[in-house]
Amino acid sequence: MRHKKSKYNVIITEFPDSSLLIYNTRSGLFGKMNAKTRTLYERIETADISALDDDELQKNAKTMLEAGYIVDAELDEMSLIVLQREIARYNTTSFGFTIAPTMDCNMCCPYCYEKKRASYMNAETQDAVVNFIKTHFDAYPTAKRLHITWYGGEPLLHKEAIYNISKTLIALCDEKNLTYQADIITNGVLLDEETAKRLAQECKIMSAQVTVDGLGPYHNKKRILKSGEDSYEIIIQNLETAKKYLNISVRVNVDKQNAGQLEELAKVFFIEHGWSENPRLYFAPVENYDNSCVAEDTCLQLPEFAKINTDMTRVLYSFNQEVA
């Protein structure tokens, strides 16, 4: 069987000893190849890995296959991604729902495309949500898992709905012998230690996504609290305590205005706070969805963002090595 390099590989770092740090964007895995394995990788189109007489290379070739760095020469990776997406859409063993307890928000970020409404889920609607989810499990007795994402608006403006619905759904899953998991997307302003503890222990929320768009002065211009308070300091303090209970991903929305300070932000997280494992940073481009909240010339083109993202992956790796 012949093989080829995955089209989704990104070379992160080339080391002086000719070893290589590589990332596959399809599998989401990082790997470090020694010089000998790198040589095999670079000539993989003409190599026959089944005929290798080197035990180490045999083992590493198998690892490259499993991690997706090399694939069958005839594989259409794009078609595989489409197929996997379709399989996930029609999967009846695992269900995922996104629940917004409110579309209200305590921030007024200039790039936000959502239409904010000061409406909150009442008890009747909460019961209706639970019953809607229950009908899916009644219809598909093969179901084994339920995953809930809490979203908004700012979902923590209506914590009681999260606590109430979670309690009922967890009991339902226990009754039906189903696995229950949950996460939350929040701006982090209300994610104090007590809240994080309750979300983890009572609601089985394992992870949270929180946005920090730059260092204090820039972040506060983009992530604006309606109260006028310093949202950066509040969020950073909450991250410090919430990480005891939750796995936290910190999203940084990137445009031309803050692209130059990403490395300094990463330095604050990794070096000053020592947050190499939790929270984790990741970057996403600001997109002009409706032409109303972002000036077109501040948005990055996808190739521009791709280069920034690749460069920052290298930076995060180097900072992680320093902390380690």
CATH number of 91-323, picked from 1.10.20.10, 3.20.20.70, 1.10.286.10, 2.40.50.100: 3.20.20.70
How far, in Å, CA of 269 to CA of 267, rounded? 5
* Amino acid in position 264: E
pTM tops 0.95: no
- End-to-end CA distance of the chain: give it in Å, rounded: 40
Distances (CA, A) of 215 to 283, 284, 292: 14, 16, 25
Instruction: Spell out the residues 6+ positions from residue 117 whose beta carbon is closer than 8 angstroms to its own.
Output: 103, 104, 153
- pLDDT by residue for the chain (324 residues), tens only, comes to 899 999 999 998 899 999 999 999 999 998 999 999 999 999 999 999 988 888 999 999 999 999 999 999 999 999 999 998 888 888 888 899 999 999 999 999 887 877 777 889 999 999 999 999 999 888 888 899 999 999 999 999 999 999 999 999 999 999 999 999 999 999 999 999 999 999 999 999 999 999 999 999 999 999 999 999 999 999 999 999 999 999 999 999 999 999 999 999 999 999 999 898 899 999 999 887 655 445 457 888 889 999 999 899 889 988 887 765
Domain ranges of the chain: 3-79, 91-323
